[in-house]
A and B are shown apart, each in its own frame.
Chain A
């Protein structure tokens, strides 16, 4: 059973609780072990960088240093914002010895040192690359027939560019959805921003972005939206009622994490993947 250093991030302890439990259940089902980092701290999301760049990189580096101590190779984040922060920090640590020296000086206070040698990855990437679509398809006992799912990538999973991925029209999410029997729909907004980082500081702008996204998914025939990030999930799911009030719409499209959809297809017990109350809306969406 391959082991991974797992960094859940703050959201997965609260708003993204269902993501956390479904990630663990599906990983186990696929034969992977996610080992949560001991005593990790917040990655800063988008809020450290406006204050102090070095502090932001240092706090992210503490998590990378804890992961390096485990001796494992991969640092896995389920949240796109955590993933992006860890990925870029890790890259800069390697590329800039001066930056690494400053950071290591601070890390001494917690008896840690960092080299930037982890392979930083998003959870969906681990499933697709390490397990593979073919192996995943063998685990499917309950294909999600009749579900027309809008794969919502959001921003930071594909941007800024990490490696050689397609930043304009990625396909991996569609491929994963097809493998579990759902029908991925095509729509233009799949990598447009949900406004997650603005929902508090510029509510009007964020709601406008969520509105356009929901409208585009619904117009394109989706009866569900699948997400890869707790920030996206909250914006697209929880803020639907606020969008409806603001724009006079009446969206009620179910939103689920890709891990929950995989779990359902793999026949994992609903409560182990955080599917409970939302089963009702799921029945509605397939019944249409």
Chain B
């Protein structure tokens, strides 16, 4: 029978490809938290998140907005005296919460990431207007107006094309994707 892994171990496994030092090496010094440019907007500091993982406090970690607030700037990673790739750990936590389907109410990050990947599977290239459809419904009226004005300015200055570009060998790319994750037929 399969052994049930602790949360701590699961996170270690999910960081498989990052080749960083294991998070158990964390000294709890807080350099990451002191460095983070987005910390004011986080429920828990990066140091606290690592502490919560060590303590196997899965529910608290899954309820936190911290990793979805990470901007992937890698400032913590280059400063960590224990050599832990903390920004990569934040990605691992994003994947974990998407895998479990559990994340804090109201976050836009999970839907955005999912929509982004679907867009790439459907066209191979990124195209902002397609993405807008996924997040604009969750914006406040004021924010929608501001985003609309910005987008209109981009179209008028020729910076925003109105038609998406596609990869030519799209069928091959879609078959490649299915060798990695069996997602069923894509159209």
A residues lining the B interface (CB < 8 Å): 10-11, 13-15, 17-18, 39-42, 44-55, 57-59, 62, 92, 95-96, 99, 102, 105-111, 155-156, 159-161, 167-168, 191-193, 195-198, 200-206, 208-209, 212, 238-239, 241-242, 245, 277
User: What are 5 residue pairs bridging A and B, where the CB atoms are less than 8 Å apart in the complex?
Assistant: A45-B116, A46-B72, A53-B95, A195-B38, A205-B40
- CB contacts (< 8 Å) of B94 on chain A: these are 49-50
| Distance in angstroms between the alpha carbons of A107 and B74 in the assembled complex | 29
Q: Are B167 and A202 in contact (CB under 8 A)?
A: no
B167 contacts which chain A residues (CB < 8 A)?
39-41
Given the complex, which residues of A lie within 8 Å of B160, measured CB to CB? 14-15
Question: A202 vs B107: C-alpha distance in the bound complex, in angstroms?
Answer: 8
B14 to chain A, nearest CB (A): 8
Are B172's CB and A111's CB within 8 A? yes
Closest-CB distance, B21 to chain A (whole angstroms): 13
Which residues does chain A contribute within 8 Å of B179, judged by CB atoms?
Answer: 105-106, 108-109
* Given known contacts A10-B125, A39-B167, A239-B150, A110 and B173 CB-to-CB distance under 8 angstroms: yes
For the complex, give the distance between the alpha carbons of A277 and B143 in Å. Answer: 27
Given A95-B19, A155-B72, A195-B37, 12 other A-B residues pairs in contact with their CB atoms under 8 A: A10-B165, A13-B125, A18-B159, A41-B120, A41-B124, A42-B125, A47-B112, A55-B180, A99-B17, A198-B71, A208-B41, A212-B37
From B139, B161, B173, residue with most partner A Cβ within 10 Å: B173
Asked if A55 and B38 make an inter-chain contact with CB atoms under 8 angstroms apart, the answer reads: no
When distances are taken between beta carbons in the complex, the residues of chain A under 8 Å from B29 are: none
- B7 at interface by CB-CB < 8 Å: no
Using A50-B91, A200-B112 as known contacts, say yes or no to A92 and B17 having CB atoms under 8 A apart: yes
Chain A residues closer than 8 Å to B139, beta-carbon distance = 203
Determine the residue in chain B with the shortest Cβ distance to A39: B168
Point out the residues of chain A lying under 8 angstroms from B150, CB to CB.
Answer: 238-239, 241-242
Q: A110 — which chain B residues lie within 8 A by C-beta?
A: 169, 172-173, 175-176
Contact B74 A54 (CB under 8 A): no
Q: Which residue of B lies closest to A46 (CB)?
A: B72
Chain A residue at minimal CB-CB distance from B115: A47
Say yes or no: A159-B126 contact (C-beta < 8 A), given A39-B167, A55-B181: no
- Return chain B residues, CB-CB under 8 Å to A201: 68, 107-109, 112, 135
Give the residues in chain B near A168, CB-CB below 8 Å: 78
Q: Interface residues of B, CB < 8 Å — how many?
A: 64
Query: Contact mask B81-120 → A, CB, 8 Å, 1/0?
Result: 0000101000100110010000000011110111011001
Known: A17-B158, A41-B120. A209 touches B176 (CB 8 A): no
B109 touches A159 (CB 8 A): no
Check A62 against B69 for contact (C-beta < 8 Å).
no
Give the distance to chain A from B112, nearest Cβ to Cβ, in Å: 5
Collect the chain A residues with CB atoms within 8 Å of residue B114's CB.
51
- Contacting B120 at CB < 8 Å: which of A48, A92, A159? A48
Within the complex, what minimum Cβ distance (angstroms) separates A208 from chain B?
A: 7
Most buried by A among B14, B173, B176, B177: B176
CA distance in complex: A204, B38 (Å): 10
- Which residues of chain B have C-beta atoms less than 8 A from A197's C-beta? 71-72
* Interface assignment of B34: CB less than 8 Å from any CB of chain A: no
On chain B, the residues within 8 Å of A195 by CB distance are 37-38, 71
Q: How far is the CB of A276 from chain B (nearest CB, A)?
A: 9
Contact B41 A202 (CB under 8 A): yes
Query: In the bound complex, how far is the Cα of B176 from the Cα of A102, in angstroms?
Result: 11
Q: Which of B1-37 contact A (CB under 8 A)?
A: 14, 16-17, 19, 37
Contact status A50-B176, CB under 8 Å:
no
Interface check B128, CB cutoff 8 A: yes
Identify which of A50, A108, A160 gathers the most chain B CB atoms within 10 Å of its CB. A50
Instruction: Give the chain B neighbours of A11 by CB distance below 8 A.
Output: 126
Out of A49, A62, A277, name the residue touching B91 (CB < 8 Å). A49
Contact B37 A57 (CB under 8 A): no
- Is the Cβ of A155 less than 8 Å from the Cβ of B131? no
**Is B57 interfacial (CB 8 A cutoff)?**
no
Interface membership of B186, Cβ < 8 A: no
In Å, the complex CA distance between A242 and B154 comes to 14
* Min C-beta distance of A268 to chain B, whole Å: 19
Complex-state Cα separation, A44 to B116, whole angstroms: 8
> Across the interface, which residues of B come within 8 angstroms of A156, CB to CB?
72-74
Q: Which residues of A are found within 8 Å of B158, using beta-carbon distances?
A: 17
